[in-house]
Structure 1
Amino acid sequence: MAPIDVDVIVFDVLGTLVDEAAGLRSAVEQCAPGADPTTAAGLVAVWQQHVAVEQERIIAGGRAFAPSSVLDAEAATVVARRAGIDDPGQLQLLAAASTRLPPWPDSAQGLARLAERRPVIGLSNADRSTLLRLDAHAGLRWHLALSAEDAATYKPDPAVYRLALTAAAVAPDRVLMVAAHAWDLRGAAALGMRTAYVERPGGDPPAGTDRFDLHTTGLADLADRL
């Protein structure tokens, strides 16, 4: 496949550049030492389901906007209740788990390589304070990091992608959205952005009807293809 020509690269963060599930699982295991791996994984699924449902409610107008740190605190409370965690300090530590997510092995080097040639933007559903700490913890370096908090909604609401398009100040088809989630890429494509799917464990793979511009195995593959 011939390389595609774009001016700006936009990256999803959670799941695409950091291993969200592993970070949450580590926090659960730390705060609930008796949890075996299967139990911890189940609690992580509960956490992620709570956040996903509440984000969908906000997008649909069924709930006023709340930043991701609020949704994470709610999810941590639900998980703590199920895991029998009643220490306030442990609950606080658990609620901040999204600021300590580990990067995928190729994230830092891949971003640096891509940023040598084009402006790179992070576009995350994490709120501003969470994204700041997450980027510092994971070693992610951007030309610009944007949070869905600035649009008072969440991806895949078009308003979030417009934050990146406004900052890029070029036509949508000159901007490449990179994500490990097909739902995220569909949202970007609806606004005319180019799309690149990155394979990650636990991601949302493309359906048979999806037609993304690139399907890559990682950031090194993405950089080669660009």
Structure 2
Amino acid sequence: MAHFVLDVNETLSDMTPLGTVLSEHGAPAELARTWFASVLRDGFALSIRGRAPGFLALGREVLTHLLADVDGLDAPPSAVVDDVLGALGSLAVHPDVAPGITALTDAGHTVSLFTNGAAASASGLVERAGIRDRISHVLSVEDLSVWKPHPAAYAHAVDRIGTLAGELTMVAVHPWDLDGAASAGMRTVWIDRGGRAWPSSFRAPDARATSFTALAAGG
């Protein structure tokens, strides 16, 4: 049986509502994607120097800067930031996640989570989905000074789970995460919900699936 380690942001969580909140305040909905990519960019850069902050703290700072360039907001930028981060804490999972994880654990596999965000946020996400009891470990980089895909992040997860890297399979929608996990010795599965081409700059995943339900079904 396999031990699957799942990324959380976007892999499990449907982040579409963040764009909805922004548009309700007069900002472009697509700013949500720009914001998330910018948070990752800055977190990765700070990780190289061993001083990555918490996801929410960095997220607040990045969104504040982005909103400073947006005209026509119906509220002060600080209030918009509060609403977006509030929505981040109440996101739902993608429709395939709960049945897929349930099927994986019913088949005897072990499932853990590993996030660049807060462990409490990841736990809340699967609690709301009704599958917290299906999760073995909820792991985060919040106690470290680096984020995935830094090698130390994956070493931390392996140590906390208490096994060898080769016994774990990282599952994510992000090629950069899977490339980092593969470099750390883990097996990898790419969840590709959109039918995209794999970016050739990254090491190819060991397997790919269109959803968690497809992963549980073996394809």
With structure 2 as the length reference, what TM-score do the two structures score? 0.84
By how many angstroms is 1:163 displaced?
2.6
Q: Does 1:104 find its partner at 2:58?
A: no
Q: Find the aligned partners of 1:154 and 1:123 in 2 and give their Cα distance.
A: 11
CA contact (8 A) 2:170 2:189 kept: yes
Counterpart of 1:28 in structure 2 is 22
Note closer, same or farther for the CA distance 1:72–1:59 as it changes in structure 2 (3 Å cut).
Answer: same
Q: Between the two proteins, what is the percent identity of the paired residues? A: 28
CA contact (8 A) 1:99 1:131 kept: no
Counterpart of 2:47 in structure 1 is 59
Counterpart of 2:85 in structure 1 is 95
Q: Which amino acid aligns with 2:9?
A: L
Counterpart of 2:60 in structure 1 is 73
Query: Which 4+ stretches in 1 moved above 6 angstroms?
Result: none
* Count of aligned pairs between the two proteins: 213
Greater Cα shift, 136-145 or 147-156: 136-145
Counterpart of 1:121 in structure 2 is 112
By how many angstroms is 1:174 displaced?
1.5
Give CA-to-partner distance per residue, 1:96-153, whole Å, 9 cap, x none: 3321233111001111111231221100111234334333345452221111112221
Note closer, same or farther for the CA distance 1:161–1:110 as it changes in structure 2 (3 Å cut).
Answer: same
Q: Which amino acid aligns with 2:92?
A: P
Q: Does 1:40 find its partner at 2:29?
A: yes
Unaligned runs of 5+ in 1: 1-5
CA contact (8 A) 1:180 1:204 kept: no
Q: Find the aligned partners of 2:9 and 2:190 in 1 and give their Cα distance.
A: 14
Give CA-to-partner distance per residue, 1:49-71, whole Å, 9 cap, x none: 3202211221111x733100101
Note closer, same or farther for the CA distance 1:206–1:53 as it changes in structure 2 (3 Å cut).
Answer: closer
CA contact (8 A) 2:182 2:203 kept: no
Q: Find the aligned partners of 1:130 and 1:91 in 2 and give their Cα distance.
A: 17
SS at match of 2:139: strand
Counterpart of 1:11 in structure 2 is 6
Unaligned runs of 5+ in 2: none
Note closer, same or farther for the CA distance 1:88–1:44 as it changes in structure 2 (3 Å cut).
Answer: closer
Counterpart of 2:121 in structure 1 is 130
CA contact (8 A) 2:19 2:32 kept: yes
Q: Which amino acid aligns with 2:29?
A: A
Note closer, same or farther for the CA distance 1:11–1:191 as it changes in structure 2 (3 Å cut).
Answer: same
Note closer, same or farther for the CA distance 1:153–1:76 as it changes in structure 2 (3 Å cut).
Answer: same
Q: What RMSD in Å do the two structures reach over aligned CA positions? A: 2.5
Q: Find the aligned partners of 2:141 and 2:186 in 1 and give their Cα distance.
A: 17
Superposed, 1:145-164 pairs within 5 Å as 145-164=138-157
